[in-house]
Amino acid sequence: MGFEIVLNLLWMLVLVIYYQLEAIVKFFIQPSRKDVSGQVVLVTGAGSGIGQRLSVEFAKLGCTIVGWDVSQKNLNETSKVMEEETGKEFYAYTCDLSDREAIYKTAEKVKQDIGRVDILINNAGIVSGKTILKCSDSMMQKTMEVNTMAHFWTLKAFLPEMLERNEGHVVTISSGAGYFGVPGQVDYAASKFGAVGMCEALHQELQHTGKTGVNVTCVCPYYINTGMFEGVKTSFMPILEKDDAVARIIDAILRNQYLLMLPKMLYLFAVMKSLLPTKALLVVGKYTGVNAAMDDFIGRKKVD
Ligand SMILES: NC(=O)c1ccc[n+]([C@@H]2O[C@H](COP(=O)([O-])OP(=O)(O)OC[C@H]3O[C@@H](n4cnc5c(N)ncnc54)[C@H](O)[C@@H]3O)[C@@H](O)[C@H]2O)c1
């Protein structure tokens, strides 16, 4: 091994220790929140659940909110809530995120109507909740299109302008299912693993190319009480409260945190997953009830 390589490895080790210590300090003394007032936030799937709450809460922080959703009815509902809680305008666009051309067209319209987007939140998601052979081909395809592929197209539409300014924020609402595969989520987990992988590679790519002003946040929550996972049973960890989850997501974005797992226990599971043998993990899945959680899944009824 050449002298230069050894020197580089030693320097890398010093930096790894430094950043590990920094992470410990940041755990106790969190970095300050950034000011986002006046910024444009685009939220996909803004018509319901997490997307609706993120829209309203970012509006309260002084942001202009652009909401996309396939359901006009849901968008109307968010407009109503926005008006009641903030008195602010909600710029709503119907867009089917499983349609690449519709995404590009809607993005162009947003650029003409509003201008640049500062914070892009890829939040929209769907779940079939079916075991692999019971899930239709078209449903599996749609899950991949909405939960994963749509992120590519929104990025292609809005990232160039962020790169030009070396400023902006890309947020991926993935899931705990983006780290852990459980029964009844074969297609969903595939799509969410895809979103996590995309987010991780994008983050590395931005750092590698010097675009460190464009922040990336990857959110991986456990079940949240929005109705999306109606019927899910959890004996081990309680289902998260929507408002609490949204407050934590906003906090992570404002502190430019890269990875947010909710609850914190998921970080421990991620470590366990890397260390334990597969058979031990199967036992953990069985005795925590996690593997049976989707057995009585109902989910959302089809949106209008
Ligand atoms: N709820 C949970 O337990 C949970 C847990 C972890 C991660 N997540 C993720 O959080 C995100 C939001 O979930 P939620 O619970 O708020 O769901 P939700 O069902 O309440 O809201 C999703 C919204 O996305 C919209 N949508 C669906 N398909 C669309 C399409 N093709 N084009 C455009 N919009 C579309 C729906 O109309 C709806 O308004 C999803 O990505 C989900 O996978 C949810």
Q: Cα–Cα distance between 173 and 303 in angstroms, integer?
A: 20
Q: Which residues contact 295 (CB under 8 A, 6 or more apart)?
A: 183, 184, 233
- Can you give the pLDDT at residue 300? 87
Query: Which ligand 1 atom minimizes the distance to the CA of 223?
Result: 3
The residue whose two tokens read 């499983």 is 98
Q: Decide if 188 is catalytic.
A: yes
- Can you give the pLDDT at residue 14? 95
Query: Which ligand 1 atom minimizes the distance to the CA of 192?
Result: 43
Instruction: Return the structure tokens found at 118.
Output: 């500062």
pLDDT in tens, 179-219: 999 999 999 999 999 999 999 999 999 999 999 999 999 99
2 pLDDT above the threshold of 90? no
Question: Which residue has its alpha carbon closest to ligand 1 atom 19?
Answer: 228
pLDDT in tens, 112-170: 999 999 999 999 999 999 999 999 999 999 999 999 999 999 999 999 999 999 999 99
Instruction: Return the structure tokens found at 269.
Output: 């599971």
The residue whose two tokens read 């319209």 is 109
% of the chain surpassing 90 pLDDT? 94
Question: Which residue has its alpha carbon closest to ligand 1 atom 8?
Answer: 175
Q: In terms of Cα–Cα distance, which of 9, 18, 84 is closest to 52?
A: 84
- Can you give the pLDDT at residue 302? 63
- Can you give the pLDDT at residue 3? 87
Tell the burial category of 292 from Cβ atoms under 10 Å away from its Cβ (0-12, 13-18, 19+).
middle
Query: What type of residue is 174?
Result: S
Q: Kindly list the protein residues whose Cβ atom lies closer than 6 A to any atom of ligand 1.
A: 45, 47-51, 69-71, 74, 95-98, 123-126, 146, 173, 175, 221, 223-224, 226-229, 300, 303
Band the pLDDT of 304: cuts 50, 70, 90.
Answer: low
- Return the exposure string of 16-44: e unless at least 16 CB atoms fall within 10 Å of the residue's CB, then b: eeeeeeeeeeeeeeeeeeeebeebbbbbb
What's this model's pTM, rounded to 2 decimal places? 0.96
Instruction: Return the structure tokens found at 201.
Output: 């590679």
Q: Which H helix or E strand runs over 226?
A: none
CA of 125 to the centre of ligand 1 (A): 4
Per the CB < 8 A criterion, the answer to whether 171 and 120 are in contact is yes
Q: Looking at 179, 188, 222, 223, which residue is catalytic?
A: 188
- Domains, in order of start, for the chain: 34-292 (3.40.50.720)
Query: Which ligand 1 atom minimizes the distance to the CA of 122?
Result: 41
The side-by-side arrangement of strands in the sheet containing 40-44 is: 90-94, 64-69, 40-44, 119-122, 168-173, 214-221, 259-262
> What would the mean pLDDT of 242-266 be, rounded to a whole number?
97
Q: Cα–Cα distance between 283 and 295 in angstroms, integer?
A: 17
